């Protein structure tokens, strides 16, 4: 049977929300084990969009720490708590491992080689969205 993927949005960033797809299976794995092989594509390509990197950095800082944002987003779920505290802590630890891998790449190849600058397109999209809202008002 076909099942639509579930999703939540982070609203901590105001109107600029983004989808977060959750695996309904055992996607978060064991909280005590970080599967480093999942970082192989990042390690091999050493390339990430600048907007993604900046968002990940933001999720590693207060008040937007990934575990806190997830805890808040999942608090109203009927099955709350969806994730245990050790799993939420693992999210922060794993995010740090991703950021560390990007930093290793930048040390090897330089920031301009690793971070794909998509910010011009992003700024244009935000401007167009604001312009569309202004016309509707």
The annotated binding site for Mn(2+) is made up of: 23
Q: Which of 126, 98, 125, 96 lies closest to 114, judged by CA? A: 98
Phi first, then psi: give them for residue 99, nearest 5 degrees: -60, -40
Q: Which of 109, 106, 113, 65 lies closest to 89, judged by CA? A: 65
Residues at the binding site are: 23
Which residues are CB-contacts of 30 (< 8 A; sequence separation ≥ 6)? Answer: none
How many other CB atoms are found less than 10 A from the CB of residue 108? 10
CB 66 within 8 A of CB 91: yes
CB 109 within 8 A of CB 50: no
Residues at the binding site for ATP are: 23
């Amino acid at each position: 049977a076909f099942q639509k993927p579930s999703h939540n949005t982070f609203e901590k960033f105001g109107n600029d929300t983004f989808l977060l797809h959750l695996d309904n299976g055992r996607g978060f794995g064991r909280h005590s084990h970080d599967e480093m092989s999942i970082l192989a594509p990042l390690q091999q390509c050493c390339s990430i969009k600048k907007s993604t990197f900046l968002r990940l950095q933001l999720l590693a800082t207060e008040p937007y720490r990934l575990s806190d944002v997830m805890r808040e987003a999942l608090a109203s779920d009927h099955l709350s708590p969806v994730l245990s505290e050790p799993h939420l802590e693992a999210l922060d630890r794993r995010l740090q491992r991703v950021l560390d891998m990007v930093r290793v790449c930048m040390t090897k190849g330089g920031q301009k080689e690793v971070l794909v600058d998509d910010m011009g397109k992003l700024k244009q999209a935000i401007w167009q969205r604001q312009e569309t809202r202004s016309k509707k008002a």
